[in-house]
Structure 1
């Protein structure tokens, strides 16, 4: 009996599926956090993006405006209804289960396929 070991190919496919999964989770986080971000003219909301570093196995959600951090951290500022400080931090907690399910989906599909 001959056995072909495809370990490196399998690991590469699982790493790629893992990156796809965390990117899906990050896109979900971006969508939810954009809906919570303070909104005056929409610049902050539109500046949100997902970036990834496949070599590091990491993704990030960020907002690219000079005032983004201050808007996020300043708990005493008033915002329109449905908008708030901690617009990125809060959905990291409240959307945890959804993001974990999204992250797991491509891995599950790869293992089932």
Structure 2
């Protein structure tokens, strides 16, 4: 089962289809940023876990997942030793540190559109 983290944008404002599409593009950019940060921290031996990381976005919902049989265990096992800079909780820490950046990245396409 893949190990993943989800991020939702639940705005109270009604968006038109172009606004939702632009927000979705911004969400994808934000999650790609988090994936890159997470990949720089993922435990590394052969690189299989790092290469299995991917971003999926459907409208204003998105997820980051690592699809190996050991992804969840690598993420959760705090007692395992890793190379310098590599760690357990690689995805969770990356997401928590990047929440504000994700929201800013989601706003960029909309700001460009509104300036038109």
TM-score range normalised by the length of the shorter chain: 0.7 to 0.9
SS at match of 1:97: helix
Alignment of 1:78-89 (within 5 A): 78-89=81-92
Larger radius of gyration: 1
Which residue of 2 is the match for residue 53 of structure 1? Answer: 58
Distance, in Å, in 1 between the alignment partners of 2:84 and 2:100 is 25
Q: Which has the higher strand share?
A: 2
Is contact 1:49-1:63 (8 Å) kept?
A: yes
User: Mind listing any 5+ residue stretches in structure 2 that lack a counterpart?
Assistant: 1-14
The answer to whether structure 1 residue 28 and structure 2 residue 25 are counterparts is no
TM-score (norm 1): 0.85
Which residue of 2 is the match for residue 67 of structure 1? Answer: 70
Distance, in Å, in 2 between the alignment partners of 1:94 and 1:51 is 20
**For residues 69-88 of structure 1, what are the alpha-carbon distances to aligned partners after superposition, in whole Å with 9 as ceiling and x for unaligned?**
00001111111000000000
Shift of 1:99: 1.8
TM-score (norm 2): 0.83
SS at match of 1:59: strand
Shift of 1:104: 1.1
The answer to whether structure 1 residue 18 and structure 2 residue 18 are counterparts is no
Q: Which has the higher helix share?
A: 1
Count of aligned pairs between the two proteins: 102
